[in-house]
A and B are shown apart, each in its own frame.
Chain A
Amino acid sequence: MSDSQLSILTNGQAVRLGAIPVLAFDRFRQAILDGVAAGQRVSALFGHATLQSELTQLYVVMADDEQNLLYAGRTEIQGDQFPSLTPDCPQVHLFEREIAEQFGLKPIGHPWLKPVRYHRSQTGRDAWGRSLDQPIQPAVGDFFRVEGDEVHEVAVGPVHAGIIEPGHFRFQCHGEQVFHLEIALGFQHRGVEQAMVGGPDNRSIHYAQTLAGDTTIAHTTAYCQLLEALARCQKTARAQMLRGVALELERLANHVGDLGALANDVGFLPTASYCGRIRGDYLNMTALLCGNRFGRGMIRPGGVGFDIDAARASELLRRLEKAEKETAIAINLLWETPSVMARFENTGLLPREIAVQLGIVGPAARASGLVRDIRQDQPSGIFRFSNLLGSTCETGDVFGRAFVRWLEIQQSIKFIREQVATIPDGLPLVSIGALAPESFAVTLDEGWRGEVCHVAITDPHGRFARYKIVDPSFHNWPALAYVLRGQEISDFPLCNKSFNLSYCGHDL
């Protein structure tokens, strides 16, 4: 890379804010485009208000999976617009829309500039020129439409038929075939990023825990890692290991649940019912550690909230072994049943090149053959010392996304078994001091849906001046919209479940 460059960081590192170079916009833009051309990904691109109302900073964090490094940089935008990067770099499309919505900065040339979460900007500006007395109605606006005599539009949500989070899906259909799907979210916008400013306080960790309630461990780990980076706090090996076990248990419960849900969506009730029960067994393993099925209270700044003794460890291993056998029986039925495979195979195809262009992460990316996993590419905590094999598939279809989950289930069980067999000595929790002032820190971890990214900027008092959260769903929702093209609308639930993205993780 040439010198106009971005700062080099590693996952879980804090640097002085002054060390992040302020680049002229053209150099900032070029650094991003060069990085993506060299195979890097944009993990975060976000705005930050300055003391002057006409001046907004834009920050970028890029991930270089080959080199296991992160690159960070910033630029300053004067006024209310900037040239959009999206036409040359599709994977920033939603980040730019978010910047427009949060700061009222219009990315000129953005091909689809619509709001993301349907809320007022932090500044007095509105990128769509809406006046303050005009209420903002979620998801209301122009949708991409296909005109024609036999074309019809199907609108679903926000309230969905099952027990599930809200979102709006607008299909352009011709008979059963979907020409185009547009997804409009924002119904669960709770204002978490704004609420984090001024923290950490006694509510901050609870925001991290409930950002995406089924991803408590991954998001809380990212939040705590940021605090630890900013406070230069060294966790014990024991704490790192317990955090890793909790993360993998979270992955297990969700993957098993997803495979059951996929079976349910194709009407294959055996696997659907067994997995529904077995998922509960994994959740109860998390509860064995900390009393709560979703891991609330498990991850604390400085380590973990609950220790494990020999008796608890052997109980965990006993339950894991039983669940492993039952999971294998339930899931192998899927691959051996022709009617299930006929629905899974070649449905919801996400080609590799599209996954690269859109910046897809997690099992969905791995199912399209992309080798990207934070546990290998940007390892932190126990994953620096312990290796899980990467799980990929080449097909990019619903089968691929299901099969990758099955491979990951097997890897996670193996990992937990190895870790719990040799628990290092030490304290589960160490105390954590004050956060460094005027600093910048990034952490990433591999949640079960993919890369979780938290970025914090502290003020002169060591309080959060900006807190940016990127849930893997923020990257991946467009992949669902993409795969529905040319699919039958009856395959929508199956495609949706094959990604199983978080609405609230996207909406914050």
Chain B
Amino acid sequence: MLKVTLARLRQGHHTFKYPDGPPPQLPDRFLGRPTIDAAQCPADCNACVRACPTSAITVKDNQPVIDMGKCLFCADCAKACPQQTIKFSDNYCLAARRRQELLVADNQAARRCDVAMDKNLKKLFGRSLKLRQVSAGGCNACEADTNVLNTLAWDLGRFGIQFVASPRHADGLLITGPVTQNMLLALKKTYDAIPEPRIVIAVGACAVSGGPYIDHEQANNGTDAVVPVDLYIPGCPPHPLTILDGLIRFLGRSDAKAIKS
């Protein structure tokens, strides 16, 4: 017992103060929200379009548009670009309520979407959101970086968010994976088993659009094809901070405000 107590003392305190303090430091090579400086874009170049593994980039009238929902944040586009048109910022606030809000055509590194749930849902879930996680063919990276939110540094429970064992106990689903054919029925049944009102959160490129598995006959291009989605969190995988930011702003918390108990 003494050893355990000593170990506890030596481990110290690691829970992040965020959002009541600064967020944990992201790696300097972190690839967050892309920015597009369209003025730099050479005419008829399309190098980025060809480089992108998931066809996340379209160019119209010399204006590239990156679909963060398909984006793997691999930066192959930025490497292929001869002009530094595309860069990846350190903005980790990537979540969006609507699929089209994931399209990026601008140069605003600091942009983020308003993702708060509507007032009625906030009354029900704002201080207690129970989620059931379904991995619908995910590679385990999104699952791992979601799981890490339950560890002590992130401590998701202090926001009233908890993952539960049964859809019967849940207020909503958190889905990862491109929704493989072999998980289609299981996902539908799990969704149907959740009492209404219920919400769905799609985490990761696969769940948002199919990710690397876009247009595979073995998968369904993400969650939209199967259940209605209330919150999209792009990334491959999204950093735990991106997932956490999305979840707590979804509940109507903002960065600067403290929890009122």
Binding site for B on A (CB under 8 A): 117-119, 137-138, 158-159, 161-166, 186-191, 195, 202-203, 205-207, 209-214, 216, 257, 270, 273-274, 276-277, 279-280, 284, 287-294, 296-297, 306, 326, 329-330, 333, 336-337, 502-504
A293 CA / B141 CA spacing, docked (Å): 9
A296 proximity list for chain B (CB < 8 A):
72-74, 236
B177 at interface (Cβ–Cβ under 8 A)?
yes
Given contacts A159-B190, A161-B166, A202-B76, contact A333 B4 (CB under 8 A): yes
> Is the Cβ of B141 less than 8 Å from the Cβ of A273?
no
Of B74, B144, B151, B212, which is within 8 A of A273 by CB? B151
Q: Cβ of A306 and Cβ of B29 under 8 Å apart?
A: yes
B131 to chain A, nearest CB (A): 9
Decide: B146 and A284 in contact? CB cutoff 8 A: no
Say whether, besides A213-B141, A273-B151, A276-B151, A190 and B180 are in contact (CB < 8 Å): yes
Which of the residues A191, A276, A326, A504 comes within 8 Å of B140, measured between beta carbons?
Answer: A504
Q: Mark B30-42, 1 if CB is under 8 A from A, else 0.
A: 1100000000000
Interface size class of B (residues with CB under 8 A): 35 or more
With A190-B219, A202-B52, A291-B29 known to touch, is A333 a contact of B3 (CB < 8 Å)? yes
B64-94 vs A, CB cutoff 8 Å, 1 = contact: the mask equals 0000000011111000000000000000000
A189, A214, A257, A330: most-surrounded residue (chain B CB, <10 A): A189
Q: Are B74 and A190 in contact (CB under 8 A)?
A: no
- Assess whether B108 is interfacial by the CB under 8 Å rule: no
Say whether B113 faces chain A, with CB atoms less than 8 Å apart: no
Indicate if the CB atoms of B218 and A119 lie closer than 8 Å.
yes
Q: How far is the CA of A242 from the CA of B134 in the complex (A)?
A: 35
Q: Which residue of A lies closest to B72 (CB)?
A: A206
Q: With A161-B165, A273-B152 in contact, do A329 and B11 touch (Cβ < 8 Å)?
A: yes
The 8 A CB mask of B224-261 against A (1 = contact, 0 = none) is: 00000000000011011000000000000000000000
In the complex formed, the residue of A with least CB distance to B133 is A163
Contact with A along B173-211 (1 / 0, CB 8 A): 000011011110110001000000000000000000001
Contact (Cβ within 8 A) B140 A214: yes
Inter-subunit contact B3/A190 (CB<8 Å): no
Residues of A within 8 A of B10 (CB): 326, 329
B180 in contact with A188 (CB, 8 Å): yes
Please report which residues of chain B, range 103-155, place their CB below 8 angstroms from some CB of chain A when the two chains form the complex: 133-148, 150-153
Give chain B residues whose Cβ lies under 8 Å from the Cβ of A203.
53-54, 212
- Whether A270 lies near B8 (C-beta < 8 A) is yes
**How far, in whole Å, are A226 and B7 apart by their CA atoms in the complex?**
45
Q: Distance (Å) between the CB of B181 and the closest chain A CB? A: 8
Q: What is the chain B residue whose CB lies nearest that of A260? A: B151
A210 touches B133 (CB 8 A): no
Contact B29 A287 (CB under 8 A): yes
Cβ-neighbour of B135 out of A166, A216, A293, A330 (below 8 A): A166
Q: Once the chains bind, are A188 and B137 in contact (CB under 8 Å)? A: yes
B17 to chain A: which residues have CB within 8 Å?
none
In contact, B212 and A188 (Cβ under 8 angstroms): no
Name the A residues within 8 Å of B146 (CB-CB).
163
Instruction: Tell me the bound Cα distance from A203 to B236 in angstroms.
Output: 14
Contacts of B150 in A (CB 8 A): 163, 276
Confirm or deny: B60 has a beta carbon within 8 angstroms of a beta carbon on chain A: no
In the bound assembly, the distance between CA atoms of A296 and B75 in angstroms comes to 11
**A274 and B11 form a contact (CB under 8 A):** yes
Would B212 and A210 count as touching, CB distance under 8 A?
Answer: yes
B47 to chain A, nearest CB (A): 12
* Chain B residues closer than 8 Å to A292, beta-carbon distance: 30-31, 73
Return the chain B residue nearest A186 by Cβ. Answer: B182
Is B217 interfacial (CB 8 A cutoff)? yes
Note all chain A residues with C-beta closer than 8 A to B213. Answer: 190-191
Chain B contacts for A213, CB-based, 8 A: 138-144, 237
Q: Which 5 A-B pairs have the closest CB atoms?
A: A213-B139, A291-B29, A213-B141, A276-B151, A161-B165
Pick the most buried of B3, B52, B152, B212: most chain A CB atoms within 10 A of its CB: B212
Asked if B218 and A189 sit within 8 Å, CB to CB, the answer is yes
* Chain B positions within 8 Å of A276 at CB level: 148, 150-152
Minimum CB–CB distance from B197 to chain A (whole Å) comes to: 21
Please measure, in the bound complex, the distance between the C-alpha atom of A195 and the C-alpha atom of B76, giving whole angstroms.
Answer: 20
B7 touches A212 (CB 8 A): no
Cα-based distance from A117 to B183 in the complex (angstroms)? 12
Kindly list 6 other residue pairs between chains A and B, CB separation below 8 angstroms, not including A206-B54, A296-B73.
A119-B218, A165-B143, A166-B134, A166-B183, A190-B180, A292-B73
CB contacts (< 8 Å) of A287 on chain B: these are 27, 29-30
Chain B: which residue is nearest A137 at the CB level?
Answer: B185
Chain A residues closer than 8 Å to B73, beta-carbon distance? 292, 296
Residue pair A290, B29 in contact (C-beta under 8 Å): yes
Instruction: Indicate if the CB atoms of B7 and A333 lie closer than 8 Å.
Output: yes
Chain B residues positioned under 8 Å from A279 (CB to CB): 148, 151
A211 to B140, CA, bound (A): 9
**Which of A190, A202, A211: most chain B Cβ within 10 A?**
A190
Question: Are B137 and A159 interface neighbours, CB within 8 A?
Answer: no
Partner of B139, one of A195, A212, A277: A212
Look across to chain A and name the residue whose beta carbon is closest to the beta carbon of B75: A297
Report the nearest B residue to A211, measured CB to CB.
Answer: B139
Closest to A201 in B: B53
Cα of A326 to Cα of B240 in the assembled complex, Å: 22
Q: Is the CB of A190 within 8 A of B218?
A: yes
- Interface check B98, CB cutoff 8 A: no
Nearest B residue to A168, CB-CB: B186
Shortest B188–chain A CB gap in Å is 11
Chain A residues within 8 Å of B218, by CB = 119, 189-191
Docked complex Cα distance between A326 and B152 (Å)? 15
**Which of the residues B30, B148, B178, B180 comes within 8 Å of A280, measured between beta carbons?**
B148
Kindly provide the distance from the CB of B183 to the nearest chain A CB, expressed in whole angstroms. Answer: 5
Closest to B176 in A: A163
B216 within 8 A of A: yes
**Bound-complex Cα distance A320 to B185 (A):** 44
Contact B137 A162 (CB under 8 A): no
Contacting A at CB under 8 A, from B41-55, are 50-54
A156–B144 alpha-carbon span in the complex (Å): 21
When distances are taken between beta carbons in the complex, the residues of chain B under 8 Å from A188 are 135, 137-139, 177, 180, 182-183
- 22 CB-based A-B contacts, threshold 8 Å: A138-B182, A162-B147, A164-B143, A187-B182, A191-B216, A202-B51, A203-B212, A205-B53, A207-B212, A212-B140, A216-B141, A274-B7, A276-B148, A279-B148, A280-B151, A288-B29, A291-B29, A292-B30, A296-B73, A296-B236, A329-B10, A330-B7
